[in-house]
Amino acid sequence: MDQINFKNLTILLHFFESTKCLLPYHLNYHFYCPLSHCHLSSSLSWSVPVLCSHRPAALPFARLIDWRLATVQIASDRFPELHFILRAIPLADLIELKRKGRFFFEHFLADSKVVVNAVLSTMRVLLQLPGMEQHEPQTVPLYRNINSTDGISFSSAAFPSFVSTFTKPPYDDEYLGPIELPLESPSYEHNFTALSLYSAQIWNHFPMALGVSPRFLPFAHFLPSDSEFGEDTSFGMRPVLPGSGQEFALALGGNRPREQFTIIILAYNREQVLLNTLERLNNLPYLNRVLVIWNDAHRLPFTPAWPRLHVPVLFINGTRNSLNNRFVPYKEIETEAILSMDDDMDIKQFEIVFAFRVWREHRDRIVGFPARFHARFGDDNFYNSNHTCQYSMILTGAAFIHKFYLHAYTYHMPEIIRQKVDEWMNCEDLAMNFLVSHLTRKAPIKTTSKWTLRCPTCSEMLSKDQSHFVERHQCIRFFARVYGYNPLVFSQFRADSVLFKTRVPHNHQKCFRYV
């Protein structure tokens, strides 16, 4: 080792658990070296590269990838201190470096497809060329227009419908917000800022947005609070006037313009249960539209009539019975916010509106109601639905999700996970939690005290089958093997409204009556 000129070499030290390996090789500082690519790729897949050089190493896509997130770079003059520097790295930092290294390897170096995509994306950033639109499949309508000649087009008039006579129960009659016409979220606003302002975030944390112009971004910046009242910045803003609950209910407030959400309901062979769920959504504030994905490809619903809501209700043919259909980013979804629901979810309107308000402040997380957690018993992880003081998952049978994650789930999540979901007919909600936690390293957010959403009128439920829980144990273990670690993050709090359980003067109102 004394014969090595360290000023002309880059040293990669691979360390994994107790194994250390020193691999010196020559690196041309002006041209990319294929040998260095091989060494870097092999090290990223299972270890943390340690680069020791007197000038910056020529790493692939270094203009856009922040290699400090996955490597340890040390000046060659400090090589004698290498042992002490590496010993000083905390375990959490070491694991994160290894995780990020594998993340970069899988998205930029693993095979020719991702390398070519990264090269083209680099050229697009340097030339400031927006990409193509994100692929969003067209829905296959469940009810077709009988006058259609192509057999595909449809209209809401072709749907069986009636004017619902459903009356809200007394505990759900509070004013929650204005009933407005459908309003879609502004699309493709970040075509150019995705190449500059958000470039580092996309390349280093959300690389599935490379090669396209993302329709929406879950990490887009928000406006300053005084923008609500600026002459040039107040358009679309709905400021909350001074006061308490009454003023709060009149507007969305927050630091973003007004917006709405889309409800996606996955339904199968339970028409009456679905009908009851749709009735409860009538006159729900901030609702843009409802998409009902009928997952029974062998028959149409027997119900001759569906409730007519204040917003469009689109019935979609799932074409095949797959739980992955819940997360298909259909073109008809025109809002960033999506409330994913099972057909048997009995959620009150005030709970939905409150969860929507919480999601608007945490758009990159899953926000919802039923919380679950994973626990370690012996040598394995287990799925657990018991009452607990910490959770790591929110079931997507009643949860708000950003549409960006639907693209990530359908087109960029490892294919083997979607295949296992179809094989077991289970665990799509766990897969989405794994994906979001893997990308953000944040825990989901639970709202309200509701722990289990029961359906007393449901004669058949997948969750009642004992094998359902056994499969979910297997899902957690399998997904962890696919990702190389368990990305789920624990949380020990839930979200309630500001004045919940607070005594207010008689002339004031709480934000919500019950949450």
Whether 238 maps to a domain, the answer reads no
Task: pLDDT band for 171, please (50, 70, 90 cuts).
Answer: low
**Same domain for 340 and 467?**
yes
Whether 55 maps to a domain, the answer reads yes
**Same domain for 69 and 170?**
no
> Quick one: pLDDT at residue 172?
67
Whether 194 maps to a domain, the answer reads no
Dist CA 444 CA 461 (whole Å): 25
Whether 450 maps to a domain, the answer reads yes
How does strand 212-213 pair with strand 161-163? unpaired
**Burial degree of 36 (CB within 10 A; 0-12, 13-18, 19+):** buried
- Section 216-235 average pLDDT: 91
Whether 436 maps to a domain, the answer reads yes
Give the residue with greater pLDDT, 323 vs 164.
323
| 267-271, 432-436, 465-469: least confident range | 465-469
**Same domain for 94 and 170?**
no
> Quick one: pLDDT at residue 284?
95
> Quick one: pLDDT at residue 16?
40
**Same domain for 57 and 173?**
no
Total number of residues shown for the chain = 515
> Is 216 in contact with 336 (CB distance < 8 Å)?
yes
> Is 289 in contact with 315 (CB distance < 8 Å)?
no
> Quick one: pLDDT at residue 506?
87
**Same domain for 310 and 418?**
yes
| 9-23, 206-220, 366-380: least confident range | 9-23
Domain termination residue (choose one: 110, 144, 170): 110
Specify the 3-state DSSP secondary structure of 415. helix
Record the pTM: 0.90
If one counts the domains in the chain, the total is 2
Domain termination residue (choose one: 81, 110, 139): 110
**Same domain for 317 and 451?**
yes
Q: Is the pLDDT confidence value at 456 over 90?
A: no
| 151-160, 394-403, 492-501: least confident range | 151-160
Alpha-helical regions (H) of 27-185: 34-44, 82-87, 91-104, 112-127
Q: Catalytic residues, which ones? A: 429
**Same domain for 360 and 434?**
yes
Amino acid at position 454, single letter: R
Structural domain range at position 323: 156-179+260-495
Whether 410 maps to a domain, the answer reads yes
Alpha-helical regions (H) of 206-322: 245-249, 271-279
Nearest to 159 by CA among 277, 291, 313, 318: 313
| 220-229, 358-367, 457-466: least confident range | 457-466
Give the residue with greater pLDDT, 400 vs 44.
400
231-249 pLDDT, tens digit per residue, is: 888 888 989 988 788 889 9
Q: Is the pLDDT confidence value at 300 over 50?
A: yes
Task: pLDDT band for 56, please (50, 70, 90 cuts).
Answer: confident
| 69-73, 166-170, 293-297, 319-323: least confident range | 166-170
How does strand 380-384 pair with strand 371-377? antiparallel
> Is 447 in contact with 494 (CB distance < 8 Å)?
yes
**Same domain for 72 and 166?**
no
**Same domain for 312 and 374?**
yes
Q: Is the pLDDT confidence value at 373 over 60?
A: yes
> Quick one: pLDDT at residue 484?
93
Q: Is the pLDDT confidence value at 33 over 90?
A: no
**Same domain for 305 and 429?**
yes
Q: Which residues contact 263 (CB under 8 A, 6 or more apart)?
A: 281, 287, 289, 290, 291, 338, 339, 341
Task: pLDDT band for 154, please (50, 70, 90 cuts).
Answer: very low
CATH number of the domain enclosing 297: 3.90.550.10
**Same domain for 339 and 474?**
yes
Up-side HSE of residue 362: CA atoms within 13 Å toward CB? 20
Whether 250 maps to a domain, the answer reads no
**Same domain for 72 and 167?**
no
Whether 231 maps to a domain, the answer reads no
Average model confidence (pLDDT) across the chain = 85
